[in-house]
Amino acid sequence: MIDLKNSGLDLAFDEKNLKLISKSKTLKLPKPGIRTLKQAKKFLMDEKSTAENNDQNIYYMYRDVCANGDKEKLAKYNLRYDITVIPPNKIGREFIKTVGHYHPFLKNEKVTYPEVYEVLHGTAHYLLQKIDMKGKVIDVKVIIANKNDKVLIPPNYGHVTINAGKEPLIMTNLVELNFSSEYGDYKKKHGAIYYGLDVDGQIKFVENPKYKEHPKLKVIKVREMSSFGLLKEMPLYVSAIKFPDKFEYLTKPQFCFKE
């Protein structure tokens, strides 16, 4: 059992049954959405690598996790808190990853919704790619985050999360409540602009040939961003409940970010 009290909620992860467990009477966990290998194969470097195992579950998404009494508060500020579990795995030569998506542009604006991630357990490689208004990738970076780190995905960056470690990656996110993510570009291009391959147990990024140009991949360190409500010692859930107004940049990014 992996203790997840660092989430600010009385949670644990049952590694044997790959299930998130709530130990609190005031928190009933939603049923997880499950991503199967079959759904993910168009996002892979080598879709044939999935041939034998199509029905395998590769990660689990618990949407709208909330203790009794907190739901109205988050909803009032148009926020949603989710938990994702990515057990360690490889698919072909790639380390296991989320399929990747962009967020939609706000109506009549040039910015997309941002997002905040927090690592509860394991290590995440957040691979971010920025697009211009024509859909061309103009910036690429990877942020490596460990336990209790918080990472801001700024507007206009699509993102993939890679678990290149040996532990389950358990992470939370906070986002605007209502938008739907856009998977089409990642699917069309068979994934992100770079693939995270396993080379002797270490992650190595290689170019995805479906993209014409490949901006240099920058490796970025996690920074503490208190002005964004992100503090290493405070769980994201606790910050969101205590200071929901601090997260207005997630719902009204047009006023908070330059293009």
Query: For the chain, how far is it from start to end, CA to CA, in angstroms?
Result: 43
Interaction of residue 118 with Fe ion, rule CB under 5 A: no
Say if CB 141 and CB 217 are below 8 A apart. yes
Q: Evaluate the CA torsion angle 100, 152, 251, 137 in order and state its sign.
A: negative
Name the one range near Fe ion by CB under 5 A: 53-61, 62-70, 110-118, 194-202.
110-118
Say if CB 54 and CB 67 are below 8 A apart. no
Say if CB 81 and CB 236 are below 8 A apart. yes
How many chain residues are in contact with Fe ion, going by CB under 5 A? Answer: 1
DSSP character at residue 32:
P
Closest CB 101 distance from Fe ion, rounded Å: 6
Interaction of residue 115 with Fe ion, rule CB under 5 A: yes
Beta bridge partners of 90: 95
Say if CB 175 and CB 202 are below 8 A apart. no
Distance CA 65, CA 62 (A): 7
- Measured from the CB atom, is 114 or 235 closer to Fe ion? 114
Closest CB 82 distance from Fe ion, rounded Å: 9
Residue whose Cβ sits closest to Fe ion: 115
- Measured from the CB atom, is 50 or 237 closer to Fe ion? 237
Question: What would the x/- binding string for Fe ion be over residues 175 to 214, using CB under 5 A?
Answer: ----------------------------------------
- Measured from the CB atom, is 39 or 53 closer to Fe ion? 39
Name the one range near Fe ion by CB under 5 A: 64-72, 83-91, 114-122, 197-205.
114-122
- Measured from the CB atom, is 50 or 111 closer to Fe ion? 111
Q: H or E element: which one contains 187? A: helix 184-188
Closest CB 181 distance from Fe ion, rounded Å: 6
Closest CB 141 distance from Fe ion, rounded Å: 15
Closest CB 103 distance from Fe ion, rounded Å: 6
- Measured from the CB atom, is 50 or 152 closer to Fe ion? 152
Residue 177 token pair: 């409540």
- Measured from the CB atom, is 13 or 126 closer to Fe ion? 126
Q: Evaluate the CA torsion angle 60, 117, 258, 108 in order and state its sign.
A: positive
Beta bridge partners of 2: 13
Query: What residues make contact with Fe ion under the rule CB under 5 A?
Result: 115
